[in-house]
Amino acid sequence: MDGNDLLARVMWFIPVLLSLTVHEWAHAWTAWKLGDDTARLMGRLSLNPLVHMDPIGTFLLPLMGVPFGWAKPVPVNPLRFRRDVTVRGGMLLVAVAGPISNVCIALVSWLLLFVLVRTVPVGDHPELESVIQLLVILVAINIGLAMFNMIPIPPLDGSKVVDALVPDSARPAWNQFCALGPVLLIAVILLPQLTGFSPIGEAINAVLRLVLSTL
């Protein structure tokens, strides 16, 4: 591994670590605001990346150049929600908090990019190239994390959203689908490797191209 390759992987790793940390913190913070202090008592209501890191998903894979990762899931006990918060409503809010945090990071990064590109002659300031590259990576990673996590396959956040909204009459069928969650998720991850085509990746790239075209 040469120096440029190492630098590229570090520049990828830092945004991944930041984005996953904020994502899990958002879950913990929302649950705490709704009355569940389980995550806080376990030290997960923190922006310290170390408390959220998964050795493989947060550290090893990103440094190896794998374009995705994960952190340790935040524990949530809906029975500890405030009395005015329903279990379904509370779990829905906790679930969407993570992807919303990624959308916020992508938006802030895009705004900074917009200001830099529109106000600073970047060609005259080559030292800004790394900053711009880092911001583009932040936009890409967080758009990807938000969209990927909203896929309704357990244990992704999207499945928790569906779980909170599915009517009781459809719950048996939904539960059967959830039992296949791990297999389906592995299939989604392996599909691009086996076929060379990734519908999810194409969707994420389309949104990313649209966002970056506004700069």
- What tokens appear for 79 in the block? 């029975």
DSSP state of 121: -
103/23 Cα distance (integer angstroms): 10
**DSSP type of residue 51:** G
Would you call 16 exposed, middle or buried from its count of C-beta atoms within 10 A (0-12, 13-18, 19+)? buried
Q: What are phi and psi of 59, to 5 degrees?
A: -115, -60
Tokens 């779980």 label which residue? 163
Active site (annotated) includes residue 24: yes
Which of 24, 127, 129, 202 does the annotation list as catalytic? 24
Return the ∠ at Cα 36 (arms to 162 and 155), rounded to 5°. 30
Tokens at 115, concatenated: 């200001």
Catalytic residues: 24
